[in-house]
Amino acid sequence: MTSKPWQRVSFWVTIALALFAVTIALASLGLKRDAKALPQLISFPLLVVLGLLLVGEFVPRVQSFFVISWLPTATPGGENLDLTEEQELERELVEAEREETGREVLLRDIPWRLVSLVFMGIVLYGLMVLAAGFIVAGLAFSMVFVRGFGGATWQGATLLGIGTVGTMYALALLLRADLYPGMLFGGKLPPF
Amino acid sequence: MFDLSPIWGTLGQLARPEVFGLMLLGNVIGLVFGVLPGVGGGNAFILFLPLTFGWDPEVAIWFLMGMQGASSFGGSLPAILIKVPGDTVNAVAIFDGYPMTRRGEATRALGIDVMSNILGATIGAIVVIALLPVMRSAVLLFGPPELFWVAIMGLFTIALASGGNFLKGLAGGAVGILFSLIGYSSVIGVQRFTLGRDYLWDGVQLISLFIGLFAIAQVIEFCTAEVPIARLTTGFKGFEGLKRGAIEVLGMPGHLIRSSAIGTLAGIIPGIGATASAFISYSVAIQFSKKKHLFHHGNPEGLVAANASINAKEMGSLIPALGFGIPGSVEGALILAALLFHGLQPGPFLLRDQPGIVWALIVSLWISNVFGTLLGLFWANWLSRLMAIRVVYMAPVILVSSLMGVYLVRNNIWDIFTAIFFGMVGYALNKAGFPVVTFVIGFLLGQIAEKYYFQSTQIGLGDPAIFFDSGISKSIAAITLLMVLGVIWSGVRSKRAVTAVEVPS
């Protein structure tokens, strides 16, 4: 790891989890004995684990000690034992997969603009459901999404939207469930 | 000598066209509901149970078991193909199923899925039939302290089985447990961490957490990375791949039998979910495998271990349900509901008074697993073509249907916002290398662990020695410790060996 700890996503996520654990630990102090037993039994060791992870961000050697590695032990000659051609192929594919998934993700690797856009789109869909219900929101969201992100034609987007919403509606009918109609159409909000 | 004639008699019912037809219809319904993320086979069971009112109980059982048997296979299909499990139990299939799909081996993975489902259920059925006469004494050996240890063992094995950084797995599980503590605890009788909101009195809903961490996080990943689901193609296509995968399973009898035995045992002991049993099987499979390094990267052995265990667990869950009338799991509770609905009283006298019903349940669940999976096989080749669809076209479909599934569970519109929140959490955890699967399992096990912890301390009048009173408790604690030490030692040893070879060069 050549990057600085604060350049990595894992560093910030670990800090966020530690803050969550501290909040739970502090909040549990005011609970009665039985109620605080498990929160404290979990949150204090969790803080130790997260502390170790944070130390590992600065000292990679500490981090590597806890990495479970199932890599085959190399022989003194360096070759792998008894691998058939097919196993070799499998190994190459696995290595390709591992290279891709095992990489440390840095903050600059995240396409922040795109992630924000997608996330805001999902939140907007939630708000649309709240306002106009599942059917209208589902249709509008599917159409705009595949049109905006996928570059589909309006006809294709409409077809996909109708298909998605139609399936939803059919399932709701089958389940004899009422889909939320939206506040604009008389839907009531449960207590929050 | 064990009398097998009731089994043949029950199998003979399949010759009746209405029984066979209804079982197949149940299979189709179970598959469809199983495939939909968050909807699940349990909902199908609940939905169609009232329809069976007035039916011959044995016919109704064939129909209902048809749904039950096929839904777990249905749930594993999206887990393998798009990394969105149909149900929590299918989450472990992601580990090795999805990497296989990504390297162009979707049909091979599905072939493995099919065969391990069938054989897992078959082995589970054999064990259940053999254990039926002695089940009472076996189940009574596990009290709250033993079940508490089983939950703890489940958490550790999950952290180990999730691979990568063990501490991250453990931290993810612990955070999951903390989230499970939010809300009103009926065990202790207090509300915790609700921030004064009415909504949080019921706690975080599993379905919201599950859909958020898997489906929504995956949608964000699909849209931002713009990666195709299947990147490489190795030639395992169509039925050739299915056949190859299915045959491969036959070459792994050890994993198959071991995982099925673990699954059946987990089903017999009330309180252990299918998800925990699948993870324990997966973890044990790693220990026994010669190809440890391939786990998490598309190792067929991992897929076999997970699927065989899940299907065998379904069979095992029949024992506490039939023998004691105890719902040991969600599946067991549904079966009990079906029996009561048809005026049958589950418990020790059922086997004596209504042996036909007991055998119908066992045989129909087994046969439904086999038929449902075979039926799914015909879909599998077609479903694997989903991989050719651009992910941006699939993303809104996944999102819209998943959030609807979240809403339908209890008709609370706020649940979809909880799911969206956990979607962002899941995305961040994925990027930081924290396995979200341990988060979900921690959430599930947290509720179980607290219940048994509290019951144990009540039984032991507050003395912690209760947790080490019985031989079973001590054994489970020792196994947990040995597993952790063994895996860490194994990791250290492999690092040393690699370093030893690298230094001279």
Domains of chain B, residue spans: 12-502
Closest to B313 (Cα-Cα) out of B365, B349, B355, B248:
B365
What integer pLDDT is reported at residue A48 of this predicted model?
92
Find the CB nearest A97 among B181, B297, B487. Answer: B297
What integer pLDDT is reported at residue A75 of this predicted model?
41
Is the pLDDT score of B230 beyond 60? no
Alpha-carbon span B435 to B324, nearest angstrom: 37
What integer pLDDT is reported at residue B365 of this predicted model?
84
What integer pLDDT is reported at residue A85 of this predicted model?
52
Higher per-residue pLDDT: A53 or B131 = A53
What integer pLDDT is reported at residue B139 of this predicted model?
62
The answer to whether residues A62 and A120 belong to one domain is no
Using an 8 Å Cβ cutoff, are B487 and B160 in contact?
yes
Is the pLDDT score of A97 beyond 60? no
**Cβ–Cβ of A171/B232 closer than 8 Å?**
no
Q: What single string gives the DSSP state of each residue in B7-53?
A: HHHHHHGGGSHHHHHHHHHHHHHHHHHHHSTTTHHHHHHHHHTGGGT
Report the Cα–Cα distance between both ends of chain A, in Å, rounded: 45
The answer to whether residues A101 and A125 belong to one domain is no
Higher per-residue pLDDT: B504 or B342 = B342
Within B186-326, strands assigned E span 190-192
Using an 8 Å Cβ cutoff, are B114 and B245 in contact?
yes
Is the pLDDT score of B458 beyond 80? yes
B4 interfacial to chain A (CB closer than 8 Å): no
- Residue partners of B268: CB distance under 8 A and separation at least 6: B131, B135, B138, B139, B316, B317, B319, B320, B328
Asked, for residue A5, whether it belongs to a domain, the answer is yes
The answer to whether residues A132 and A44 belong to one domain is no
Q: What single string gives the DSSP state of each residue in B82-141?
A: HS--SSGGGGHHHHHHHHHHHTT-HHHHHHHHHHHHHHHHHHHHHHHHHHGGGHHHHHHT
Higher per-residue pLDDT: A4 or B322 = A4
Name the DSSP letter for residue A184. G
**Cβ–Cβ of B501/A164 closer than 8 Å?**
no
Please state the separation of Cα B153 from the chain's center in Å: 16
Asked, for residue A149, whether it belongs to a domain, the answer is yes
The answer to whether residues A51 and A126 belong to one domain is no
Please state the separation of Cα A132 from the chain's center in Å: 27
Three-class SS state of B213: helix
**Cβ–Cβ of A35/B190 closer than 8 Å?**
yes
Q: What is the pLDDT of residues B75-108, one digit of tens each?
A: 888 888 877 777 777 777 888 888 888 777 888 8
CA distance B364 to chain A (A): 25
Name the DSSP letter for residue B200. G
Higher per-residue pLDDT: B484 or B455 = B455
Higher per-residue pLDDT: B258 or B210 = B258
Is the pLDDT score of B301 beyond 60? yes
Using a CB-CB cut-off of 8 Å, the residues of chain A touching B185 are 35
- Residue partners of B4: CB distance under 8 A and separation at least 6: none
Cα distances from A168 to residues A125, A126, A136, B404, in angstroms, run 15, 16, 12, 8
What integer pLDDT is reported at residue B1 of this predicted model?
47
pTM, to two decimals:
0.73
**Cβ–Cβ of B167/A66 closer than 8 Å?**
yes
Is the pLDDT score of B42 beyond 80? no
The answer to whether residues A141 and A101 belong to one domain is no
Alpha-carbon span B361 to B319, nearest angstrom: 11
B421 interfacial to chain A (CB closer than 8 Å): no
Please state the separation of Cα B356 from the chain's center in Å: 29
CA distance B47 to chain A (A): 6
pLDDT-derived band at A38, boundaries 50, 70, 90: confident
Q: What is the mean pLDDT of residues B320-334?
A: 66
Using an 8 Å Cβ cutoff, are B393 and B90 in contact?
no
**Cβ–Cβ of A167/B454 closer than 8 Å?**
no
Q: Tokens 């859909």 identify what position?
A: B211
Q: Which of B43, B158, B178 to substitute to test the interface with A, most A CBs within 10 Å? A: B178
**Cβ–Cβ of B178/A115 closer than 8 Å?**
no
- What value of ipTM does the predicted structure carry? 0.86
CA distance B13 to chain A (A): 29
Cα distances from B435 to residues A111, A150, A183, B175, in angstroms, run 21, 29, 38, 11
What integer pLDDT is reported at residue B426 of this predicted model?
92
For residue B77 the two structure tokens come to 């299909």
B386 interfacial to chain A (CB closer than 8 Å): no
In chain B, residues 125-184 whose CB comes closer than 8 Å to chain A: 160, 163-168, 170-171, 174-175, 177-178, 181
For residue B123 the two structure tokens come to 């082995």
Query: Exposed/middle/buried for A73, CB within 10 Å: 0-12, 13-18, 19+?
Result: middle
Is the pLDDT score of A64 beyond 80? no
What integer pLDDT is reported at residue B420 of this predicted model?
94
Find the CB nearest A13 among B99, B174, B434. Answer: B434
Residue ending a domain, among A110, A135, A163, is A110
**Cβ–Cβ of A176/B47 closer than 8 Å?**
yes
Three-class SS state of B183: strand
pLDDT-derived band at A72, boundaries 50, 70, 90: very low
Highest mean pLDDT among A62-66, A100-104, A119-123, A157-161: A119-123
Q: What is the mean pLDDT of residues A8-23?
A: 93
CA distance B57 to chain A (A): 23
Q: What is the mean pLDDT of residues A183-188?
A: 85
Closest to A97 (Cα-Cα) out of B334, B95, B439:
B95
Using a CB-CB cut-off of 8 Å, the residues of chain B touching A53 are 165, 167-168, 171
Query: Exposed/middle/buried for B463, CB within 10 Å: 0-12, 13-18, 19+?
Result: exposed
CA within 13 Å, CB half, B114: 26
The domain containing residue A155 runs over which residues? 112-185
pLDDT-derived band at B438, boundaries 50, 70, 90: confident
Q: What is the mean pLDDT of residues B444-459?
A: 81
CA distance B248 to chain A (A): 13
The answer to whether residues A61 and A131 belong to one domain is no
Residue ending a domain, among A110, A142, A166, is A110
Asked, for residue A82, whether it belongs to a domain, the answer is no
pLDDT-derived band at A87, boundaries 50, 70, 90: low
**Cβ–Cβ of A31/B192 closer than 8 Å?**
yes
Asked, for residue A75, whether it belongs to a domain, the answer is no
Q: Which of A110-119, B158-167, B471-480 has the lowest mean pLDDT?
A: B158-167
pLDDT-derived band at A88, boundaries 50, 70, 90: low
Highest mean pLDDT among A68-77, B290-299, B398-407: B398-407
For residue B136 the two structure tokens come to 């009472």
CA distance A126 to chain B (A): 7
Name the DSSP letter for residue B185. E
**Cβ–Cβ of B494/A73 closer than 8 Å?**
yes
pLDDT-derived band at B434, boundaries 50, 70, 90: confident
| A to B CB pairs, distance under 8 Å | 250
Radius of gyration of chain A (CA): 25
Domain count across chain A: 2
**Cβ–Cβ of B43/A190 closer than 8 Å?**
no
The answer to whether residues A123 and A104 belong to one domain is no
Percent of the residues in chain B that have a pLDDT greater than 90, as a whole number: 4
For residue B374 the two structure tokens come to 């075979």
B407 interfacial to chain A (CB closer than 8 Å): yes
Using a CB-CB cut-off of 8 Å, the residues of chain A touching B429 are 13
